[in-house]
Amino acid sequence: MTGRRSSWTLAAFAAPCLPLAALGLPLVVYLPEYYVSDLGLSLSVVGAAFLLVRLADIVLDPILGGVMDRTRTRLGRFRPWLAAAAPVLMIAAYALFMARPGVSPVYLWAALVVCYAGYSMAVLSHTAWGAVLSPDYQQRSRIYGWWQAGNVVGMILVLLLPPLLSIVFKGDHAAGIHAMGWFIIVLLPLTFLLAIGVVGETNVPPVRHEAGLKQYLGLIQRPSVQKLLIADLLMGLAPGVAGALFFFFFERIKGFDKASAGVLLLVYFVAALLGSPVWPALARKVGKHKALAIASVVYAAVQIASVFTPGNQGGFGFNAPTVVGMGILVLAGLPYSAAPLLVRSMMADIGDEERLASGVDRTGLLYAVVNGTVKLGYALAIGVFLLLSWLGFDPKVPSVQGDTALIAMYAVAPAVLGLLVCAVILRYPLDATAHAEIRRQLDERDAAEPLPSPTPEPHVAPLAAPNPAAE
C-alpha cells in the first residue's frame, strides 16, 4: 500500500489554497504598495507594520501546532482548525482590502493582527493535514504538488482581477484591490467546506505528551530540520524580496505601467503553475533535496538575467521589451513551485524520523516550525522597504542612488540567496533510502499497535489502488 490518493481527493484537498494564496500574494506584493501609494501611509510605517506583525505572529505557531497535535474530534486533528479559521480570515480580508484613503496606522496594525492569526490557523492546519494523507516518500511530493498547484491557481485568479476590471469595467487600481477582497471572502467558506467534507483524516489515538516551546526548539536542533529550514527560509526570502519590489522595479527601472507590470506578474505565476508537476517528477529521478538544489540554481541565474530586460518605452504589446520580459519571467516562474512543495513533502518525512526517535507524532509542531520559517522569510522580505528607504530609494522621486539600490535588491540579492540554498540543501541527509529504512522500522512497530485507518472520503475511495502509469 503506497497511500496513493485519488486525483479528485487531492483536488478537493487543494481547494482551500485558492483563497489562501489569493490572500497571501497581495499581502506581499499588492497591499504594502497600495497602502503607500493609494492610501497615503508612509513607506516606513507600512514596512514596519507588515514586518513586525508577521514576526510577532511567529510566536503563535508553536502554540497552535502543539494544540493541534493534541486535538481529537470526530473530524480529526486538523480539519476543525481549518473550519475555525474561515470566519476570522473573512473579517480580516474585508478590513484590509476595503480600507479607504486616510486610514490610520493603528487600523492597519489591527487588521494585520487578525489576518495573520487566522492565516496561521488555516495554513498550519491545512499543510499538517496533508502530511498525514500518505506515508509514502514519493506520494507526499504528489500531494504537495497538488497543494502548490492550488496555491498558484489562486494567485493567478487574483492577479487576473485588476487587469480584467481595468479592461472590461474601466476600474482603477483601488477597484482591483476591492475585487481581490471580495474574491477571497466568497471563496473561503466554499473551498474550506469542500475540503473538509470530501477528504478524510486519520484520527490517531490520544497520546499525552508535551508540545511547548521546549519541544519546538528541540525539533529545530535536529540536523535534518535545520538544513531544511535554512533552505526554506532562503528560498522563501528570495522571491519574497523580488515580489515585494516587483512593481517598483518594472515601473521605475523598466518603464512598464502598473497594468502591464501586472500582466508580467501573471505570466510569472502561470509559469509557476506549469512548474508544479515538474519538481515532483524530477524528485522521483534524483531525490527531493537534489531537485530543490537544481531549482535554486535555475532561479538564481534567471533572476540575474532580469536586469538585462529591455526598457519599455511604449504601451503594453508584443514589442521586444515585453516579449523578452515575458520570457525571463517564464523561466523565473518555473522554479517558484519547487521549494514550497518539496520542503513540505520533506518535512512529512522528518515527521516519520521524529516519531521513530521519540514515539510521538508531532506533525502539527513540525509544520509550525516550517510555517514560522515562511513567515520569517516574508516578514524579512517586506522589511526590504525599510532597507531601501535607508539606501536612498524614494517611490515618488527617482535618483541614481535609489534606482541602483532597487536593482540590487530586486535581482542580485535574491540570486545570491538562491545559490546559498543549493549549498545548504545538498548536505541534507534524509533521502529516499534513509526514509525507506525509517518507514520499515515504523511499520514493524505499528504492526504491533495498529493505528486507525483514515476516515473515508464521501463519494470516493479513501485510498486508490496504485497505478504506476499515472505516476
Q: How many CB atoms lie within 10 A of CB 333?
A: 24
pLDDT of 370: 81
Please report how many Cα atoms fall inside a 13 Å half-sphere around the Cα of residue 81, on the Cβ side. Answer: 29
pLDDT at 311 over 80: no
The amino acid occupying position 30 is Y
pLDDT of 457: 44
Alpha helices in 410-457 (DSSP H): 413-425, 432-448
pLDDT band at 420 (very low <50, low <70, confident <90, very high): very high
pLDDT at 332 over 60: yes
The closest of 140, 135, 114, 102 to 27, measured between CA atoms, is 114
pLDDT of 464: 40
Mean residue pLDDT across the chain: 82
Percent of the residues in the chain that have a pLDDT greater than 90, as a whole number: 24
Q: Which of 3-12, 208-217, 422-431, 452-461 holds the top average pLDDT?
A: 422-431
pLDDT band at 321 (very low <50, low <70, confident <90, very high): low
pLDDT of 456: 45
Q: Residue 424 — φ and ψ, nearest 5°? A: -75, -45
Alpha-carbon distance of 369 to 365, in angstroms, equals: 6
The one-character DSSP state at 315 is -
- Measured between alpha carbons, how far apart are the two ends of the chain, in Å? 15
What mean pLDDT comes out for the span 355-362?
79
Range of lowest pLDDT (293-307, 339-353, 445-459): 445-459
pLDDT of 320: 66
Helix (H) or strand (E) holding 339: helix 338-358
Range of lowest pLDDT (272-286, 363-377, 455-469): 455-469
Q: How many CB atoms lie within 10 A of CB 7?
A: 13
pLDDT digits (tens, 9 = 90+) for 370-417: 887 877 777 777 678 778 888 888 777 778 888 888 888 888 989 999
pLDDT band at 463 (very low <50, low <70, confident <90, very high): very low
pLDDT at 368 over 60: yes
pLDDT digits (tens, 9 = 90+) for 165-183: 767 766 677 888 888 999 9
Output 339 or 323, whichever has higher pLDDT.
339
What mean pLDDT comes out for the span 326-347?
86
Question: DSSP for 10-24?
Answer: HHHHHTTHHHHHHHH
pLDDT band at 217 (very low <50, low <70, confident <90, very high): low
Alpha-carbon distance of 312 to 440, in angstroms, equals: 58
- Domains annotated for the chain, with CATH where assigned, are 13-200+223-429 (1.20.1250.20)
pLDDT digits (tens, 9 = 90+) for 40-78: 888 788 888 888 887 788 888 888 888 888 888 888 889
What mean pLDDT comes out for the span 220-237?
83
pLDDT digits (tens, 9 = 90+) for 81-131: 999 999 999 999 999 999 988 889 999 999 999 999 999 999 999 998 988
What mean pLDDT comes out for the span 180-196?
95
What mean pLDDT comes out for the span 25-31?
83
Alpha-carbon distance of 140 to 351, in angstroms, equals: 12
Grid cell for residue 131: 502530511
Exposed, middle or buried: residue 307 (CB in 10 Å: 0-12, 13-18, 19+)?
middle
Alpha-carbon distance of 335 to 412, in angstroms, equals: 17
Radius of gyration, CA atoms only, the chain: 22
Please report how many Cα atoms fall inside a 13 Å half-sphere around the Cα of residue 163, on the Cβ side. Answer: 17
Helix (H) or strand (E) holding 319: none
The amino acid occupying position 64 is L
170 backbone φψ class: left, alpha, beta (φ>0; ψ -120 to 50): left
The closest of 149, 145, 152, 134 to 280, measured between CA atoms, is 145
pLDDT digits (tens, 9 = 90+) for 252-269: 888 877 777 777 888 888
Q: Are 345 and 143 in contact (CB under 8 A)?
A: yes
Range of lowest pLDDT (98-112, 274-288, 348-362): 348-362
The closest of 148, 138, 326, 303 to 234, measured between CA atoms, is 303
What mean pLDDT comes out for the span 3-11?
83
